[in-house]
């Protein structure tokens, strides 16, 4: 056989692979619809691990296990992206607001072009009025300043963890969670027109973005990282300075906004790089179709306090999704704990549990009861 014969055979196999991949995606979409109807999370890491392990065990080569892992991670990622896309429209519509969206002022942290701006548009549409705020402190002050009706705040990243400057502001505020949105984050090295990768000596960005790109920065020690307030603002400063040795780490939206040049793409350590945002309002609203509750508890400083606080959830079979401890300001060595649980603030079991905690002198505050999209 000739090279052309082998290429023709590969073309035939590629067409069959494409047909099978699309068939798999359609089945994954049906599973996603079933999960949404049952109030289940679209993300099932146990199932994903089982798929990859089964494929590695069945692999006969010449592809090695690393190749199988990467290939099926990509397939699973694209399937979940389709599921999330199908889920977006109805869940976005479930957020009830007192004001028409074409008059809604939404504040976000960062400069225009930031990932937070992208998340706000994804959640609420292009018709909203976007209000950039330079810091997390000013973001959470935006409603009191009458500059915004609600704010969109980043809470956690799938690679770097909780965004603590924003998270702590939420715990200290009197705002309530109306809903959430998750976006995939792709980090780029953005320079000035005329610059090249070889010329870059500094890269500035938000600390969370820098944390997401540790491998890239470690592999390029000639590039010094510079911590800044936000990603898009870093791009704006780099472009304004016109220094060909300076670059920023941010998204494509920011590069397009300020006329930057993308020198490298996909700097993030993991392709599964997502940031989760909360839509926050001064008005408490528990969504009728909520399936997730966020709350904060403050515990007495005594042995077994955390165990005693969590036991009522376990006794009633309530699924705790997250727990995060943070210091209580002004009270050294005392902590509050942020909890996320599966359910609704109107569920009888949740109500009974919170009542039991309060009777046990555990300070409890519900931050929100909303529809999850994770």
- List pLDDT tens digits, range 87-121: 654 444 446 665 667 789 999 999 999 999 999 99
Burial class of residue 326, CB neighbours in 10 A (0-12, 13-18, 19+): middle
Q: What is the mean pLDDT of residues 41-64?
A: 84
pLDDT (mean) for 256-277: 92
Enter the tokens of residue 287. Answer: 């969504």
| CA–CA dist 109, 94 (Å, integer) | 24
- Could you confirm whether 129 is annotated as catalytic? no
List the beta strands (DSSP E) in the chain. 105-109, 129-133, 150-157, 161-162, 176-184, 188-191, 202-205, 224-227, 246-250, 261-264, 274-281, 292-298, 320-327, 335-342, 363-370
Angle ∠(341,347,353) on CA atoms, nearest 5: 65
Q: Residues 281-298: what's their mean pLDDT?
A: 89
**Position 38 pLDDT exceeds 90:** no
Over the chain, what is the mean pLDDT?
A: 89
Residue 88 neighbours by CB under 8 Å, 6+ apart: 122, 373
Mapped onto helix, strand or coil, the DSSP state of residue 218 is helix
Comparing 159 with 124, the larger pLDDT belongs to 124
Cα separation of 109 and 231, whole Å? 10
Give me the pLDDT at residue 245, please.
97
Sequence-distant contacts of 28-36: CB under 8 A, at least 24 apart = 28/79, 28/80, 28/82, 28/83, 29/79, 29/82, 29/83, 29/86, 31/83, 32/80, 32/82, 32/83, 32/84, 32/86, 32/87, 33/86, 35/83, 36/87
Residue 246, pLDDT > 90, answer yes
pLDDT band at 324 (very low <50, low <70, confident <90, very high): very high
Q: For residues 345-360, b (16+ Cβ closer than 10 Å) or e, as one string?
A: bebeebeebbebbeee
Report how far residue 178's alpha carbon sits from residue 369's, in angstroms, rounded to the nearest whole number: 7
Average pLDDT over residues 1-8: 88
Report pLDDT for 12.
92
**β-strand pairing of 246-250 with 202-205:** parallel
Q: What mean pLDDT do residues 168-181 have?
A: 93
Cβ-based neighbours of 243, under 8 Å, separated by 6 or more: 192
According to the model, what pLDDT value does residue 95 have? 62
Residue 210: predicted pLDDT:
94
Res 85 pLDDT > 70: no
pLDDT of residue 93: 43
136 is catalytic: no
Whole-number pLDDT of residue 180: 93
Which phi and psi angles does 193 have, rounded to 5°? -55, 130
> How does 304-317 read in b/e, with b if 16+ C-beta sit within 10 Å?
ebeeebbebbeeee
Domains of the chain by range and CATH? 3-89 (1.20.59.10), 101-185+274-281 (3.40.190.10), 189-264 (3.40.190.10), 292-370 (3.30.70.260)
Is there a contact between 223 and 195 (Cβ–Cβ < 8 Å)? no
Q: In degrees rounded to 5, what are phi and psi of residue 94?
A: -75, -10
The 10 Å Cβ neighbour count of residue 195 is 21
115 closest CA partner among 249, 305, 296: 249
Lowest mean per-residue pLDDT among 25-34, 152-161, 252-261: 25-34
Euclidean distance between CA atoms 204 and 238, whole angstroms = 9
- % of the chain with per-residue pLDDT over 90: 59
pLDDT of residue 94: 47
State residue 106's pLDDT score.
96
d(CA 166, CA 178): 16
What pLDDT is attached to residue 334? 80
Distance CA 277, CA 120 (A): 9
pLDDT in tens, 175-231: 999 999 999 889 999 999 999 999 999 999 999 899 999 999 999 999 999 999 889
C-beta separation of 128 from 121 below 8 A: yes
Quick one: pLDDT at residue 187? 95
Catalytic residue among 115, 140, 277, 313: 277
E strands, 104-159, where? 105-109, 129-133, 150-157
Confidence at residue 186, expressed as pLDDT on a 0 to 100 scale: 92
Average the pLDDT over each of 104-108, 231-235, 300-304, 319-323 and give the range with the smallest value: 300-304
- What is the predicted pLDDT for the residue at 91? 43
What pLDDT does 90 receive?
A: 40
List 216, 275, 278, 313, catalytic entry? 275
Crossing angle (nearest 10°) for helices 3-38 and 65-93: 40
Q: Is the pLDDT of residue 40 over 80?
A: no
The answer, yes or no, to whether residue 264 has pLDDT greater than 80, is yes
Q: What pTM does this model have? A: 0.70
């Amino acid at each position: 056989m000739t090279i052309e014969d082998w290429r023709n055979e590969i073309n035939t196999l590629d067409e069959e692979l494409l047909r099978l991949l699309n068939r798999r995606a359609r089945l994954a979409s049906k599973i996603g619809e079933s999960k949404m109807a049952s109030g289940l999370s679209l993300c099932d890491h146990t199932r994903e691990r089982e798929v990859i392990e089964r494929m590695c065990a069945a692999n006969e080569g010449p592809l090695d296990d690393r190749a199988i892992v990467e290939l099926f991670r990509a397939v699973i990622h694209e399937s979940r992206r389709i599921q999330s896309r199908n889920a977006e429209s109805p869940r976005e519509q479930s957020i009830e607001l007192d004001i028409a969206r074409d008059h809604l002022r939404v504040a976000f942290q960062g400069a225009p072009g930031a990932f937070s701006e992208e998340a706000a548009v994804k959640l609420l549409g292009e018709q909203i009025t976007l209000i950039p705020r330079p810091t997390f402190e000013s973001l959470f002050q935006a409603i009191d300043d009458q500059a915004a009706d609600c704010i969109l705040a980043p809470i956690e990243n799938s690679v770097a963890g909780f965004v603590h400057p924003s998270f702590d502001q939420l715990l200290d505020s009197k705002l309530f969670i109306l809903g959430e949105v998750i976006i995939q984050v792709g980090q780029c090295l953005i320079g000035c027109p005329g610059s090249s990768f070889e010329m870059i000596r500094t890269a500035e960005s938000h600390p969370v973005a820098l944390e997401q790109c540790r491998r890239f920065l470690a592999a390029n020690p000639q590039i010094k990282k510079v911590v800044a307030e936000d990603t898009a603002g870093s791009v704006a400063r780099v472009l304004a300075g016109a220094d060909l040795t300076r670059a920023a780490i941010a998204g494509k939206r920011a590069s397009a906004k300020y006329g930057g040049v993308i020198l490298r793409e996909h700097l993030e350590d993991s392709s599964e790089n997502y940031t989760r945002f909360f839509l926050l309002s001064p008005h408490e609203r528990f969504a009728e179709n909520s399936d997730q509750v966020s709350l904060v508890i403050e515990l007495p400083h005594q042995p077994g306090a955390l165990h005693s606080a969590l036991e009522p959830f376990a006794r009633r079979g309530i699924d705790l999704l997250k727990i995060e401890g943070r210091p209580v300001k002004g009270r050294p060595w005392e902590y509050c704990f942020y909890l996320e649980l599966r359910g609704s603030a109107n569920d009888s079991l949740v109500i009974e549990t919170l009542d039991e905690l309060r009777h046990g002198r555990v300070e409890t505050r519900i931050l929100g009861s909303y529809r999850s999209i994770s």
